[in-house]
A and B are shown apart, each in its own frame.
Chain A
Amino acid sequence: AQSVTQLGSHVSVSEGALVLLRCNYSSSVPPYLFWYVQYPNQGLQLLLKYTTGATLVKGINGFEAEFKKSETSFHLTKPSAHMSDAAEYFCAVSKMDSNYQLIWGAGTKLIIKP
């Protein structure tokens, strides 16, 4: 069965510092991979996705993620954190027989220190 592991339920970085949120998945074949962001009392917003092609994917708000098949990872990065990036971030993979049924990690809450 597919699963998603996000390392660290909370990550704290200073404003202007590098953001790195880790995501590893288990799957026998490369799935579709997603990062979503959830602001307090809001729904989930797509940051970026990997389906096929280039393994470095750029998303909104300056975020990017790299699909590494050998490491079964899809870590999310941003060169310089901004206060507005404080939110919860979820990594998800699509179920093999359905592109719509996502399997989610438990989420990482990003805290930005001034």
Chain B
Amino acid sequence: ETGVTQSPTHLIKTRGQQVTLRCSSQSGHNTVSWYQQALGQGPQFIFQYYREEENGRGNFPPRFSGLQFPNYSSELNVNALELDDSALYLCASTGSGANVLTFGAGSRLTVL
């Protein structure tokens, strides 16, 4: 079984730009969560998608948005990028009734 895959692995943007990060969930998993991990810190929960709908959100502004597709893959979109958005963005998936997240290797975003 394939794990969680994320793309791109690294990218550089400038302030004010927009970015889209992609995630393919593990086979059989229908719930996807996104986390932001700033350098030297633990991950912070951004939001979660289940059956193509957002069903949980952390303390992030509306310029952080997402999508989940029928095949359970997901996108994280960030508009109007700020310097503080520089971080590792982690996608995690899990199956129904499970309580363990399987993480991808992350997308490292640098905002200049």
Residues of A within 8 A of B (CB): 4, 9, 32, 34, 36, 41-46, 49, 51, 90, 92, 94-95, 98-107
Q: Which residue of B lies closest to A4 (CB)?
A: B42
Q: Which of A32, A43, A104 has the most CB of B within 10 A?
A: A43
Known interface pairs A100-B94, A101-B58; A43-B99 also in contact (CB < 8 Å)? no
Q: How far is the CA of A106 from the CA of B41 in the complex (A)?
A: 5
**Counting chain B CB atoms within 10 Å of each CB, which of A51, A94, A102, A103 scores highest?**
A102
Report the Cα distance A44→B35, complex, angstroms. 11
Contact of A104 among B31, B40, B42, B102 (CB under 8 A): B42
Residue of A whose beta carbon sits closest to that of B3: A43
Q: Is the interface of B mostly helix, strand, loop or mixed?
A: loop
Asked whether B99 lies within 8 Å of A51 as measured between CB atoms, the reply is yes
Chain B 1-28 residues near chain A, CB threshold 8 A = 4
Across the interface, A99 reaches (CB within 8 A) one of B4, B41, B99, B104, namely B99
Q: Kindly identify which residue among B40, B90, B101 contacts A100, using a CB–CB cutoff of 8 Å.
A: B101
Q: Is the CB of A101 within 8 A of B33?
A: yes
- Determine whether B48 belongs to the interface, using a CB cutoff of 8 Å to chain A: yes
Q: In chain B, residues 40-55, which have Cβ atoms closer than 8 Å to a Cβ of chain A?
A: 40-45, 48
Q: Contacts A42-B105, A44-B90, A99-B99 hold; do A104 and B43 have CB atoms under 8 A apart?
A: yes
User: A96–B101 Cα gap in the complex (Å)?
Assistant: 16
Q: How far is the CA of A46 from the CA of B100 in the complex (A)?
A: 8
One of B101, B102, B104 near A102 (C-beta < 8 A): B101
Q: Do A43 and B4 have beta carbons less than 8 Å apart?
A: yes
Q: Shortest distance in angstroms between B41's beta carbon and chain A's nearest beta carbon?
A: 6
* Smallest CB-CB A-B distances: 10 pairs: A104-B42, A43-B103, A99-B99, A44-B103, A43-B105, A106-B42, A104-B43, A101-B45, A43-B104, A107-B42
Q: A9-B40, A36-B103, A104-B44 are in contact. List 15 more A-B contacts (CB 8 A).
A: A43-B103, A43-B105, A44-B43, A45-B103, A46-B100, A46-B102, A49-B99, A94-B99, A99-B98, A100-B99, A100-B101, A101-B58, A102-B43, A102-B101, A106-B40
